[in-house]
Amino acid sequence: MKKSSRKIFQFLFIICLLVSNFYIPEAQAKTLGSMREELEELKEKYANNQLQIQLTEEEIEQTKERIATIRTTILDIQENMYELKNTIEQLNQDILDKEAEIEDILVFFQVANGENSYLEYAFGAKDFTDFIYRLAVSEQLTSYNNELVEQYKQDIEESEQKTKELEQEEINLNNERDDLEVEMTKLGDKLEELDSDSISIEEQLEMMESEIELYTSLGCSDDQTIEQCSADVLPPDTTMWRPIPTGYISGYSGWRISPIHGGREFHHGLDMSDSGANYRDYPIYSIANGLVVYVDNSNTSSCGGNKVYIQHLINGQFYTSGYWHLRATSVEVGDVVTKNTQIGIMGGYSGTEYWDGCSTGAHLHLELSDEPFNNENGGSENIYGLRDGFLRPELNINFPSKGVYWNDRTTKY
C-alpha cells in the first residue's frame, strides 16, 4: 500500500513538473500606449540602421580610394621596372664596349708574350719617353676601365635586385587589391541588406504611425486595448465573401517553392486571379464589413505592391484581411467599408507594375489573421516569417478547389 502511494505521488509530481515546464503565459493584449512605445523603439532602430548605412558607405568610399591608390602605385612600379630593364640593357652594352676598349689597350702588354702586336704599338712611339708615357697611360686606362666594368656589373646587380623587389611589391599590391575587391563585394552586399532593412523599417514606421493616428482619431486611450477600442466602431458582420466576382485560385497559402527565387518559403496568403487580368482593371472588394486600418499606395514596395488592410468584427471575433499586389487603391485609412465596397484594382503584372518585385502576373494575394491589425502581422519584415494570428483564407472563406472557376462571390461548393 505504501509502495502504491509512493508511486502515485511520484507520478503526480512528474505531471506537475511537466505542466510547469510547458506552461506558456498568455500574451498580453496590445494597447495604444504600448504601440507608442514600440514606435519609439522602431524609430531608434531606424536611426541605428541609417548610421550603419552611413558608416558602410564611408567604408566603401575608403576602400575605393585605397584600390585606386594601389592601381596607380602598380602602374608606377611597372614603369619603374621598365626603366630598370632599359638601364640593365644599357649597362650590359656599356660593359661590352669597355671590354673592347680594354682589349685594345692590352695590345701593348702582349709584348711579354713576344707577340708582334707589341711592336706595332711600341714602334709607334716617337722616342723612349713617349714609349714610357704610353705604357703608363695604358696601365691607367686599363685600371680605370676595369673599375668601370666592375661598377657597371654592380649597378646591374643592384638594378636586378631592385627589379625583384618591385616585382614582389607588385605581387603584394595585387593581392591586397584582390582582397579589397572581395571586401568591396561584401560591403556592397551589406549595404544592399541595410538598404532593404531601411525600406522595411520605413514601411513599418509608416504603418505604425498610421495605426496610432487612426486609433487616436477613434478616441482610444493609451491604456485601452485595440480590441476594446475597435469594438465600438467596427461595423459587425456574420460572413466573409470572396474578394473578386469571378476567378480561380492560383496558389494556396502555406509552405511552397517560391516562383520568384526558387527557395522554400512560407506563403501567407491565398493567390487568385482571372482570365485577362493583366490587361484590364479588375475590381477587388472587401471580404466583409470593416474599417480600413492601413493603405500603402506609394508604388514603392519591392514586394507586394500597393496594399490595403481592413479590420473586421465577424460574429464577435476580430479579423484582419490584407490585399496585396494592387494596381491602385480606392479607399483611405479610417474608411468604413462593406462587402460591396471596391477597395482597389488587381495588379502584379510586370508590364504595368514593374516596381512589384515578387509577382509573376496580375493576381490578388489575400491574407487573413484572427487578430486586429498591427505592425507585427502586417509588417513587410515578416514576409518570409510566420505572421501573428495567421489564418488560411481557403479554410475560412467559401472557395472552390484550386483551378476551379467561380462566377460570383457567394456560391457554395
The answer on 191 and 54 residing in a single domain is yes
Whole-number Å distance between alpha carbons of 110 and 119: 10
Q: Is residue 302 part of a domain?
A: yes
The answer on 152 and 93 residing in a single domain is yes
Burial string for 289-322 (b: 16+ CB within 10 Å, else e) reads bbbbbbbbbeeebebbbbbbbbbbbbeeebbbbb
The answer on 331 and 269 residing in a single domain is yes
Q: In the chain, which stretches have pLDDT less than 70? A: 1-28, 101-142, 144-145, 254, 256-263, 265, 299-302, 356-357, 373-388, 412-413
- Alpha-carbon 412 to chain mean position: 46
The answer on 108 and 248 residing in a single domain is no
Q: The CATH number of the domain where 367 resides is what?
A: 2.70.70.10
Angle at 26 (CA atoms; ends 322, 40), nearest 5 degrees: 60
Closest-CA residue to 290 (of 313, 262, 260): 313
> What pLDDT score does 225 carry?
86
The answer on 281 and 165 residing in a single domain is no
> What pLDDT score does 359 carry?
73
* Contact (CB, 8 A) for 52 and 196: no
> What pLDDT score does 387 carry?
55
The answer on 360 and 289 residing in a single domain is yes
Q: Is residue 167 part of a domain?
A: yes
Whole-number Å distance between alpha carbons of 331 and 55: 40
Whole-number Å distance between alpha carbons of 162 and 158: 6
> What pLDDT score does 231 carry?
80
Tell me the pLDDT tens digit for each residue of 33-56: 998 999 999 999 999 999 999 999
> What pLDDT score does 142 carry?
65
Q: Is residue 135 part of a domain?
A: yes
> What pLDDT score does 118 carry?
43
> What pLDDT score does 155 carry?
81
pTM above threshold 0.85: no
- Alpha-carbon 138 to chain mean position: 79
Torsion sign across C-alpha atoms 231, 235, 239, 242: negative
The answer on 379 and 248 residing in a single domain is yes
* C-alpha dist (Å) from residue 271 to 138, 174, 213, 305, 408: 104, 52, 31, 14, 17
Q: Is residue 213 part of a domain?
A: no
The answer on 141 and 243 residing in a single domain is no
The answer on 297 and 192 residing in a single domain is no
Q: Is residue 23 part of a domain?
A: no
- SS3 for the chain is CHHHHHHHHHHHHHHHHHHHHCCCCCCCCCEHHHHHHHHHHHHHHHHHHHHHHHHHHHHHHHHHHHHHHHHHHHHHHHHHHHHHHHHHHHHHHHHHHHHHHHHHHCCHHHHHHCCHHHHHHHCCCCCHHHHHHHHHHHHHHHHHHHHHHHHHHHHHHHHHHHHHHHHHHHHHHHHHHHHHHHHHHHHHHHHHHHHHHHHHHHHHHHHHHHHHHHHHHCCCCCCCEHHHHHHCCCCEECCCCCCCCCEEEEECCEEEECCCCCCEEEECEEEEECCCHHHCCCEEECCCCEEEEEEECCCCCCCCEEEEEEEEEECCEEEEEEEEEEEEECCCCCCEECCCCEEEEEECCCCCCCCCCCCCCCEEEEEEECCCCCHHHHCHHHCCCCCCCEECHHHHCCCCCCCCCECCCCCCC
The answer on 281 and 146 residing in a single domain is no
Tell me the pLDDT tens digit for each residue of 165-206: 989 999 999 999 999 999 999 999 999 999 888 878 887 888
Q: The CATH number of the domain where 190 resides is what?
A: 1.10.287.620
> What pLDDT score does 145 carry?
67
Residues 6+ apart with CB under 8 A from 128: none
The residue from 143, 166, 196 where one domain ends is: 196
Q: Is residue 172 part of a domain?
A: yes
> What pLDDT score does 3 carry?
46
The answer on 246 and 181 residing in a single domain is no
Q: Is residue 117 part of a domain?
A: yes
Tally of domains within the chain: 2
Q: Is residue 39 part of a domain?
A: yes
Closest-CA residue to 328 (of 298, 350, 354, 355): 298
- Alpha-carbon 249 to chain mean position: 33
Give residue 132's domain range.
33-196
The residue written with cell numbers 502586417 in the block is: 378
The answer on 143 and 41 residing in a single domain is yes
